[in-house]
Structure 1
Amino acid sequence: MPQTKPKISVLVPVYKAEATLDACVKSILAQTFPDFELLLVDDESPDACPALCDAWAQKDPRIRALHPAKTGPGPSGARNAGLDAARGDWITMVDSDDTVAPDLFATLLAGARQSGADLVICNSCRVLPDGTQQPHPVEQTFAADTLLDEEAFWDAFNTPWISQFTGTAHRLYAARLFEGVRYPVGMVHEDYYVLPDLIARCGKVQCLAYTGYYVLQHEGSITATARHEVRLAMTRGDIHRAEYFLSRRWYDRAEGALTDAADFLYRNKAAYDLRKPGHRAEFAAVKAELCRVYGALATQKESKSLGLRAAALRLGLPVFHAYTALLAARR
């Protein structure tokens, strides 16, 4: 007998999560909205997690354990394997060291149905290993339900709300948003990079003044152990976002994203340890991409002033920084 198509597909990449996976899965199975499938995607975890995934799949028919071949560092390959296997009309993602409130799925789906949004985001809350909750500052959370169109989303993106906008969890995606869109393999902060591709397909984004996702804070997270890779991934995300803005002819937004990327590279250059050949080559590749897109902005806008800034950037980050600082001082 064919399986009934679930309303929601829940994707959980699993890697070195022996201590947290059971709590994560139990919180998902405790949902008040039961019409979902849970895909536990083993990211070739070197511990007992593959067996734990299989054991959970035996306990509940809604759970499937996937064991795809690993395609690179980070969870991108696992997320993509989950997307390929997902059957639901909606997609949500949960990290294997986090937990969710019992009414999370019901609340997110109700928000989508009431607003007509293709993406629904709620607030998250940090949790220490001892269980102590550390809510985000009030200004970084959604204090009221807010419906955003595409342009309003990017206007809000530059506010303190950014801590809720970035990431893959505490949100519900219409499955169609991922048609032709997959996470870049081998890149940390892959969620930041792919965000423009998803927002470009959204009619509306609903932000809920509701907290239903709990993020465990610990030293083993990617952001705590891959500082160099995280910095360059965020810069790549800014450049990709600028290209998306260019495709919409939103020149001021594109310039802002590229200036942020250039300033970030300049201010953090010392953190990249360019004595290492791999770091040096990666840094050079990101800077070259930044120069290419900045030049495209100047050409597309037919702006001489932007052309001069693009030329300064090609000469080097210190030159670009000094030139833009001089222009700002003259205003």
Structure 2
Amino acid sequence: MLQEKPKISVIVPVYKAEKTLDACVRSILAQTFASFELLLVDDESPDNCPALCDAWAGKDPRIRALHPAKTGPGPSGARNAGLDAARGDWITMVDSDDTVAPELFATLYAAAGNSGAGLVICNCCRMLPDGALRPLPEAQRFPADTVLTESRFWDAFNTPWISQFTGTAHRLYAARLFEDVRYPEGMVHEDYYVLPDLIARCGTVQCLAYTGYFVLQHEGSITATGRKEVRLAVTRGDIHRAEYFLSRGWYDRAEGALTDAAGFLYRNKAAYDLRKPGHRAEFAAVRGELCRVYAALAARKGSRSLRIRALALRAGMPVFHVYTRLLDARRSR
């Protein structure tokens, strides 16, 4: 029987987390804020995690164990299943190998109520396997409570704060942000891809100087094991961000995002092993999307220089790289 509607839904995708899941769940159950539901989403983990999720669900009525069919690599499918099942007006996500401070939910919820922001983000902190804490460098942490408009958020995105803005954890989302947004399945860095869609809907973003989320540092993360996939996902995210900027009429920002995408694709081309047909096809598809959006930007902005760059990009990444370097050299004279 379902309990009273919770204010916050906590989504925890669970995959190969036998050693860390109990500590994660205990830290969530220790919250000073009581009105939440905890959704443990089994991502078809091949170990004992499915049974652990069921066991926890039997211990506390606020916990539900979900066992959706896996849809591809990465946690996107699990996150989406959690979003589909969530009943709270607010959403937060916790990785199954991380822990949270007892007052985290209370702090985020109070900040959202006071500021009216649709998204509240606090600082995270790295934790070593022995429990020692390693705070992020000072430049990457929010030094004071700050409320950002949509436009100011993207200005701040180009600062060291970017490490706090990307990801899904140490933040509280208004559930309405996900009404027609889901994470792309089968893609790593799915959080980076959907960020523009969420920011477009949230009105304002509040950044808190408070630190209440602890990220366990260990081997075997997606970014360590999916080199080619990670780089293609980052490039797709930059292209998607550029399209969002185009829809807002922010042409300079769109050009910056596309330049990031093209540069990243060129610098990391060795990661794709283009001798393999699958890699070659994926690379060609992403480059085709980059060409399409670059051409759209050139047409919208009416810039001759951008049109030439779009043609250079279509001719090939080396041609585009040489042409842009020549332009940069000419501008610096």
TM-score, with length taken from structure 1: 0.99
Distance in 1, matches of 2:324 and 2:226, equals: 31
Distance in 1, matches of 2:131 and 2:228, equals: 29
CA contact (8 A) 1:219 1:225 kept: no
Give yes or no for the alignment of 1:321 onto 2:321: yes
Aligned to 1:38: 38
What is the CA-CA distance between 1:154 and the residue it aligns to?
A: 0.3
Distance in 2, matches of 1:278 and 1:15, equals: 27
Distance in 2, matches of 1:81 and 1:253, equals: 33
What is the CA-CA distance between 1:146 and the residue it aligns to?
A: 0.5
Once the two structures are superposed, the pairs formed by residues 252-331 of structure 1 within 5 Å of their partners are 252-331=252-331
Distance in 1, matches of 2:275 and 2:30, equals: 50
AA partner of residue 21 (structure 2): L
Once the two structures are superposed, the pairs formed by residues 87-106 of structure 1 within 5 Å of their partners are 87-106=87-106
What is the CA-CA distance between 1:33 and the residue it aligns to?
A: 0.4
What is the CA-CA distance between 1:274 and the residue it aligns to?
A: 1.6
What is the CA-CA distance between 1:321 and the residue it aligns to?
A: 1.0
Aligned to 2:13: 13
CA contact (8 A) 1:41 1:82 kept: yes
What is the CA-CA distance between 1:276 and the residue it aligns to?
A: 2.0
Name which of structure 1's ranges 122-131 and 73-82 shifts more when overlaid on structure 2: 122-131
CA contact (8 A) 2:44 2:70 kept: yes
Name which of structure 1's ranges 75-84 and 293-302 shifts more when overlaid on structure 2: 293-302
CA contact (8 A) 2:3 2:62 kept: no
Aligned to 1:120: 120
What is the CA-CA distance between 1:227 and the residue it aligns to?
A: 1.3
Aligned to 2:210: 210
In structure 2, runs of 5+ residues without a counterpart are: none
Distance in 2, matches of 1:153 and 1:235, equals: 20
Distance in 1, matches of 2:266 and 2:222, equals: 23
CA contact (8 A) 1:74 1:187 kept: yes
Distance in 1, matches of 2:2 and 2:167, equals: 34
Distance in 1, matches of 2:48 and 2:328, equals: 56
Once the two structures are superposed, the pairs formed by residues 192-207 of structure 1 within 5 Å of their partners are 192-207=192-207
Q: How many residues align?
A: 331
Aligned to 1:172: 172
Once the two structures are superposed, the pairs formed by residues 126-275 of structure 1 within 5 Å of their partners are 126-275=126-275
AA partner of residue 76 (structure 1): S
Name which of structure 1's ranges 122-131 and 3-12 shifts more when overlaid on structure 2: 122-131
TM-score, with length taken from structure 2: 0.98
In structure 1, runs of 5+ residues without a counterpart are: none
* RMSD, aligned α-carbons: 0.9
What is the CA-CA distance between 1:106 and the residue it aligns to?
A: 0.5
Distance in 1, matches of 2:132 and 2:278, equals: 39
Once the two structures are superposed, the pairs formed by residues 27-106 of structure 1 within 5 Å of their partners are 27-106=27-106
CA contact (8 A) 2:291 2:310 kept: yes
Distance in 2, matches of 1:184 and 1:2, equals: 29
Deviations 1:47-74 (A, max 9, x none): 1000000000000000000001111111
AA partner of residue 130 (structure 1): D
What is the CA-CA distance between 1:2 and the residue it aligns to?
A: 5.4
AA partner of residue 322 (structure 1): V
What is the CA-CA distance between 1:3 and the residue it aligns to?
A: 2.8
Deviations 1:60-104 (A, max 9, x none): 000000001111111000000000000001000000000001110
What is the CA-CA distance between 1:283 and the residue it aligns to?
A: 1.1
Distance in 1, matches of 2:213 and 2:277, equals: 40
AA partner of residue 3 (structure 2): Q
Task: Show structure 1 runs of 4+ deviating over 2 A.
Answer: none
Distance in 2, matches of 1:273 and 1:223, equals: 18
What is the CA-CA distance between 1:144 and the residue it aligns to?
A: 0.5
CA contact (8 A) 1:144 1:209 kept: yes
What is the CA-CA distance between 1:271 and the residue it aligns to?
A: 2.0
Distance in 2, matches of 1:277 and 1:217, equals: 35
**Cα pair distance change 1:2/1:279, threshold 3 Å:** closer
CA contact (8 A) 2:42 2:67 kept: yes
CA contact (8 A) 2:125 2:135 kept: yes
Distance in 2, matches of 1:98 and 1:139, equals: 23
Distance in 2, matches of 1:227 and 1:141, equals: 27
AA partner of residue 260 (structure 1): D
CA contact (8 A) 1:99 1:214 kept: yes
